[in-house]
């Protein structure tokens, strides 16, 4: 499928969750998933795309390549595909469970 917003960006993710007690407190006993709706994209002109998830980006990967949901004390690797409006800019990951965000330049 073609991107709905302009360009696909594939992220290779390696993650590790903490011990059961901390994990259950942070996620209320549910598994964690890297939700594409927790990402934003800022163009070089400063315009923010608040939605970089699309049906097209979700369909890009077979299930076996996607980063899986994670429980406590687990390590996982996989991919996320985002649908961004430009080839250059800044990706922002701002999960709702913390008061901080991480940025990467494209």
Per-residue HEC secondary structure of 17-39 comes to CCCHHHHHHHHCCCCECCCHHHE
Element (H, E) at 102: strand 102-105
Give a yes or no: residue 28 inside a domain.
Answer: yes
Q: What is the pLDDT of residues 64-78, one digit of tens each?
A: 999 998 888 899 999
Give a yes or no: residue 71 inside a domain.
Answer: yes
Asked if 91 contacts 41 with a C-beta cutoff of 8 angstroms, the reply is yes
What does the pLDDT average to over 22-39? 78
Give a yes or no: residue 94 inside a domain.
Answer: no
Q: In the prediction, which pLDDT does 42 show? A: 98
Distance CA 86, CA 9 (A): 10
Q: Provide the number of structural domains found in the chain.
A: 1
Q: In the prediction, which pLDDT does 102 show? A: 93
What does the pLDDT average to over 79-84? 97
CA-only gyration radius of the chain, Å: 15
Q: Which domain holds residue 65?
A: 7-88
Give a yes or no: residue 81 inside a domain.
Answer: yes
Give a yes or no: residue 1 inside a domain.
Answer: no
Give a yes or no: residue 104 inside a domain.
Answer: no
pTM recorded for the entire structure: 0.85
């Amino acid at each position: 499928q073609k991107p709905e917003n302009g360009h696909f960006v594939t992220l290779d993710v390696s993650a590790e969750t903490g011990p059961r007690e901390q994990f259950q407190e942070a996620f209320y006993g549910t598994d964690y998933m890297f939700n594409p709706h927790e990402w934003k994209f800022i163009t070089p002109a400063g315009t923010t795309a608040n939605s970089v998830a699309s049906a097209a980006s979700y369909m890009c990967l077979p299930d076996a390549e996607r980063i899986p949901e994670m429980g406590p004390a687990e390590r996982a690797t996989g991919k996320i595909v985002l649908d961004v409006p430009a080839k250059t800019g800044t990706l922002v990951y701002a999960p709702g469970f913390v008061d901080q965000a991480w940025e990467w330049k494209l």
